[in-house]
Structure 1
């Protein structure tokens, strides 16, 4: 029977982006790099701001099926390569290395040795290295690694056996049927046994790089096999045209030039001048002044600042976050095609209670986003550890000047915190002392490179505070709005700046279609019930079912990057969190002995109010 293997278009960025293992219907594949994409069929995804930040000409998405039921089985889709190539039969236990020539369109691999067709399954283990390479385990070598017989590698007659009298990896073994040599898998996962082959599954053997790393054997669905390195940006209205602004048509022609990404990344002024001249020669009607103005417009600053960047200049993610922060933290409504926001009144309809007044003094502004557009781009991937310095690009040939991306639409709620209240709270010695330990763990963690753009030069107490608040708000909104926690996402704005610090969170939902979502999240932000939702959030956050262990526990989580946070109170699906469930501390919100939480006065007032109501007193 012909089968159709599918992934959603949005999944081609995360979790099934370039280099990821895709498992479906008992088969396993790896997504090939963008040099294998059907470029002529891939639509462009427009996001000039994100493209300028990443120094690329633009973005493309894989084509989506027009109809999920009647689409052609051999239609254009996501290019994948079968991996692991070593398969085994569950009936006769024979192994076979499956090649491209063995593939039959629309048919799963079948065992040629069994009298009745039996499906072949992929081997459970693969080998990876920190440079991002991945390959099959050399099973022939493993079966003969302790043998004294002289067996020819060309035979490759292997079997994957199970000993039901043993347990664990000791019960599994690979045997050569030609010489009866075998070895169990007990020590297979030990490090440093083999060198990396320098190979990616979609490459030919002649394309393998020279890699000096030791390969690590892991299970193919292990968490460290694939770390997607992504960057996303909201589609916000362009600033009002100023003197010297580039004509949109000329700007589009400059961005489409193949030399534009190199000019955006050029650090040498002589090289920048040469590339500018070449762009002008290749684009009639474009002047050097147009190119220089577009660089200033998109990179922010003069050409000297761009070609001689300051060492303390914030990262790309931080640069773009300031533009989003300014667009969201607005006191006037904006009605753009892909960015519709409106500030709303925050507070109850009637006279506020003490807890509501205290809460209003900490939340400065609420902005409802009725429509948002987000572009999510895949920059590359890592293996073993998520270090940007070891990132493998999405094009291993280096010939593409664009990146894969998808556009998603949705809605959201933005809350801006009071800078005065937040600054006074941050100055408390007990708060700074608690965050100092978290900052020390962050500086020593392997995740520092990935989180540096979010943290900035120093970890301010507001970042774990706002991040934990965003997690608790997502959990609470999942009950109020009808969306699951995995359907909601966060954007935390807590970066320090010379002219002022950010202090806000955006909770939004996005779907990979033009209609977006149905308005349930925006309704919660616009209604008078938002105050009640936040009070419920704080009530839930003040107590965890794992307390007192959760609240009193010291460093926890990956690399000790969390404090009072666990699955029972603050952790979210990783698709919802931009920091990988790191930098969370519930105590900073609700307080603990010796530490005043930012919202602790609100919680205390709400408890006094509840006690008064129980005694029959007026709550106001």
Structure 2
């Protein structure tokens, strides 16, 4: 790629391993992490995400590390915008050209920069490849031996006629060597007529087979690359603050500690390892600092866990749940607590709403927690192509090389946490469930297909109402808090039963100064936020697409939205972690016909 660069955070999303990246007039694909310079990727400081995933999280190299993430040119098929000649530009060509931008080698247009072809082929097993334009041009044809056109000598052009409104019939690949010609008709609306190569673009010499049938998409299409990430806030141990038993918290922390896994394989060869605490002194010291326990207690716990004792206890098994939902539920007690936290990476203050807000507003809402500082760690664990649901294969970021680290970033920011009353929400759920029972069945099936687990949580009136309200607040806060809507992210805390939760965290989390300008915390002042909430409900009560939008039952991806569209409830893809799905304004403000009671129906009636 030469001296081209992108931000480190973008190498996690949206331009991580396997993603196609346009830089100027050139196009590349990011390689898997087994090709990254691991020594130039610093390990992030200890964090909950690292312990849960049992792998180091490393930041992509920056200018200070003098390392570079390798990219491979893709697609390799390019054409000259002047003479329209088609080139298959190989890696050897790149090396000879010192990886500079490819140029046309024709007559009058020599030194004209080549343009990458627009279309590529991908399959549901996560593979990506060039469209073989030579074969496409010569498909369904038989060339006599005396007129044989070889791949090496064929001179092909990419031609457009400008007719038919610029559709696929107006674009064609023409072989000047043998006269064959084929338009682009049928290129994207049916399976690609050639087999999948079973590899990624940078694995040019890999020989593999794949049974999936590839399809052709524009190289910038969103379904070429779906990232799978995990993120967690840096809460710290919080044992003393939360009232949790420090010993129990320590043991859960040790069970998921990445060093424990490596040590077990080593200690097998050392019979008296228990009398050699220097082998695991780093873990002991970390445990003492993290939980405030004495060294002897921590040493005993470390020896127990290394010996495998209590490893199967139910309380320890929760440490191995790597779903995003598990991270959210573990964060909930700290954000929802009635007193603030003042730790290195989490500084909060609680504002109670009873008495500060009118009674009708303080019934559904208990408190606002102002978060002056937070640290979020985000890691990329894999990606999918063609479909983001469970029918597609998730490709690990190391392509199965077995590396013990993941690419990730730490970001800092501020936020507003809004806690709802559990009794209020559960009472409303009982009222609304019969009115939307048929919709919930469809949503439960869709959530299972899309890996939204547990489906009983995400396909619930509670989650949909919280999620829709969060979107409305993001859209409204972008006017008042000094941030663009794409800079504000959401975390929806939702569960029932023992882990009952109902809360919304709206926060900024960025690697630069925009993450901590103070605008969100200032807007979270109860008096200011009350105005924001009122305006949000007014926004959700009306949509320029009504009455069509308000009467819709299945909109968006897989029909997982109801009354929600771009005009009223959808936000930037960087803000929503659910692909702008599972939204319905009616569950917040109520339906126009009164059939569906909204979570904030009584308040919404006052602001309509």
TM range (shorter): 0.7 to 0.9
Q: Deviations over 1:112-150 (max 9, x none)?
A: 114441000101111100000000111111111132213
The equivalent of 2:381 in structure 1 is 379
Q: Deviations over 1:579-606 (max 9, x none)?
A: 1111111011111222221211113345
Question: Is contact 1:314–1:456 with CA below 8 Å preserved after alignment?
Answer: no
TM-score, normalising length: structure 1? 0.85
Q: Report the CA distance shift for 1:175/1:330 in structure 2 as closer, same or farther (over 3 A).
A: same
The equivalent of 1:322 in structure 2 is 329
Q: Deviations over 1:371-421 (max 9, x none)?
A: 011111101000011135610000015131111001111000001101111
Q: Displacement, 1:36?
A: 1.0
1:121-520 to structure 2, matched below 5 A, reads 121-149=115-143, 150-166=148-164, 167-189=166-188, 190-191=190-191, 193-205=193-205, 207-240=206-239, 242-243=246-247, 255-256=258-259, 259=262, 277=268, 285-286=279-280, 290=302, 292-293=304-305, 302-305=311-314, 316-346=323-353, 356-387=358-389, 390-428=393-431, 431-445=432-446, 448-453=449-454, 455-456=455-456, 459-496=459-496, 498-513=497-512, 516-520=515-519
Gaps of 5+ in 1: 261-272, 608-620
| SS across alignment from 1:463 | helix
Q: Distance in 1 between matches of 2:579 and 2:68?
A: 30
The equivalent of 1:599 in structure 2 is 600
| SS across alignment from 1:511 | coil
Q: CA RMSD in A?
A: 3.2
Q: Displacement, 1:447?
A: 6.7
| 1:16 maps to 2:32 | no
Q: Report the CA distance shift for 1:82/1:606 in structure 2 as closer, same or farther (over 3 A).
A: closer
Q: Distance in 1 between matches of 2:246 and 2:447?
A: 43
Question: Is contact 1:246–1:290 with CA below 8 Å preserved after alignment?
Answer: no
Q: Report the CA distance shift for 1:285/1:245 in structure 2 as closer, same or farther (over 3 A).
A: farther
Q: Distance in 2 between matches of 1:478 and 1:340?
A: 23
Q: Distance in 1 between matches of 2:442 and 2:269?
A: 48
Q: Distance in 2 between matches of 1:159 and 1:221?
A: 22
Question: Is contact 1:254–1:279 with CA below 8 Å preserved after alignment?
Answer: no
Q: Deviations over 1:181-200 (max 9, x none)?
A: 22111122221522111010
Q: Report the CA distance shift for 1:461/1:302 in structure 2 as closer, same or farther (over 3 A).
A: farther
Gaps of 5+ in 2: 240-244, 281-298
The equivalent of 1:612 in structure 2 is none
Q: Report the CA distance shift for 1:533/1:253 in structure 2 as closer, same or farther (over 3 A).
A: closer
| SS across alignment from 1:371 | strand
Q: Report the CA distance shift for 1:236/1:20 in structure 2 as closer, same or farther (over 3 A).
A: same
| SS across alignment from 2:558 | helix
